[in-house]
Amino acid sequence: MGRYILKRIGYMFLTLWIIATITFVLIYSIPGDPIATKARVLPVKTMEAIRKKYKLDQPKYKQYISYLGNLVQGDMGESIQYPGRRVNDMIKKEFPVSAKLGLQAVVVGLAVGLILGIIAAFYRSTWPDFVVIFIAIFGVSVPGFVFAILLQYFFGGKLGLPTAGWFSNSAWFGKGFRYTVLPTLALSIPGIASNARFMRTSVLDVINQDYVLTAKAKGVNRVNMVWRHIIRNAIIPVVTILGPRIAGIITGTIIVETIFGIPGLGRELVNAINNRDYTVIMSLTIFFAFLYIVSLLLVDIAYVLIDPKIKLTKEKQ
C-alpha cells in the first residue's frame, strides 16, 4: 500500500507536467493574445515593451521552458491582465474562502444525502421514498442559480441572514459564519440530490443480499445493521463521485460565487480564459489539476479502507 501511494505521487508529477504542456499548447493555438485583445489603442512601441516584459516576444518553446522553470520553483507567475497580481497571492487569498464554503457544503451534502438515501431505500415505494425522490429530482433539475436566488428571497429577508457578501477569512465560526449559511445551502443541494439517489440505488442492491438477511435473523438492530453491514457495501459509488466533487467545490463555483458576491477562486479561471490571461489560466489549471489528482488518490485509498475486497495492486498469483 505504501509503495502504491509513493508510486501514485510519482505519477502525479508526470501527469501534472502533461497537463501543463497540453494546456500550454491549447492556449497558444487560440488566436489572439492578451495584449492584442485588450490594448489595441497602444502605440506600437509601448505594445512591444509590454510584450517584452511578459516575454511574449520570445519563441514559444522559450516561453514554455521559462514557465515550467518558474513553476518548479513554486512561482506561478503574474497576471497579465492585472499587473502586480501574482497568482500565488490570488490562491493564498481566495482559496481559503472557496475551500471553507466548499467543505461545509460537502459535509452537509454527504450527511443529508446519505441519510435520505438510506431512508428512501428502507421505505421503498412508500411516502418517505417519494419525498426523497422528489427532493432529488428537484435538486438535479432546478438550476443552481435559481435555487440560490430563491434562498436569498425566502431566507435572506425573513430570517435576517445576509443575502450576499463575505465577512472575513480568519474566523470559521462567529460573525462570519452567518454569511456562509445561504451559499453553503445553495452549493450543497446538488450534492444532496445525487448522493441520495446513488445511495438509494446501491442500498437497494445490498438490502436483498443474504448477509443482510443473516444479520436480521441474528437479531442485529437496525442502526447496527445499517452501520456495519449496509453502508460499507453501498457507499462505494458515493465515494467515487465525492472525490472530484470535493476538488471541484473547494476551488469554488462561479455561479454561486457571483450571486452571493463571494471573493472565491471559481470566477478567476473563467475571467482569465475570457481575457486570455495566459499565466493565470496555466497556473490555476495546474492548481486545480493538483487538487483533482490528490482527491482521486484519496478516493482510491478510501476504497481499500471501506471494502477489503478491493485491491489496488495486483497480487502475485
Partner 1 sequence: MVSINKDKFKIIGYDENELEAISRPNISYWKDAWRRLRKNKVAMVSLVILIIVILMCLIGPYLSPFNFKDQDYSLLDKTPTTLHWFGTDNLGRDMFVRTWMGGRISMYIGFVGTLVELVIGCLYGGIAGYLGGKADMIMMRLIEIIASVPYLLVVILLLLVLPKGVNTLIIGLCITGWVGIARLIRGQVMQIKSLDYVLAAKALGAKPMRIILKHELPNTVGLILVYMSMDIPAFIFDEAF
- Which residues of this chain interact with partner 1, rule CB under 8 A? 7, 11, 14-15, 18-19, 22-23, 26-27, 29-31, 125, 130, 140-141, 143, 193-194, 197-198, 201-202, 204-205, 236-237, 239-241, 244, 269-270, 273, 281, 285, 288-289, 292-293, 296, 299, 303, 307, 309-314
Distance CA 170, CA 86 (A): 21
- Give the CB-side neighbour count of residue 305, counting CA atoms within 13 A: 7
* Shortest reach from residue 223's CB to partner 1, in Å: 24
* Shortest reach from residue 232's CB to partner 1, in Å: 11
Q: Strand, coil or helix: what is 126?
A: coil
Of 91, 90, 95, whose CA–CA distance to 251 is shortest? 95
Angle between helix 236-250 and 278-306 (nearest 10): 160
C-beta of 179 vs 303, nearer to partner 1: 303
Distance CA 44, CA 216 (A): 81
* Shortest reach from residue 152's CB to partner 1, in Å: 20
Distance CA 76, CA 87 (A): 6
C-beta of 101 vs 284, nearer to partner 1: 284
C-beta of 215 vs 236, nearer to partner 1: 236
* Shortest reach from residue 273's CB to partner 1, in Å: 5
Contact 292, 53 (CB under 8 A): no
Count the neighbouring beta carbons within 10 Å of the beta carbon of residue 34. 22
C-beta of 72 vs 312, nearer to partner 1: 312
* Shortest reach from residue 170's CB to partner 1, in Å: 31
C-beta of 15 vs 169, nearer to partner 1: 15
Residues 6+ apart with CB under 8 A from 81: 34, 38, 271, 272, 275, 277, 280
* Shortest reach from residue 73's CB to partner 1, in Å: 21
C-beta of 115 vs 296, nearer to partner 1: 296
Region of 83 (left: φ > 0; alpha: ψ -120 to 50; beta: rest) is: beta
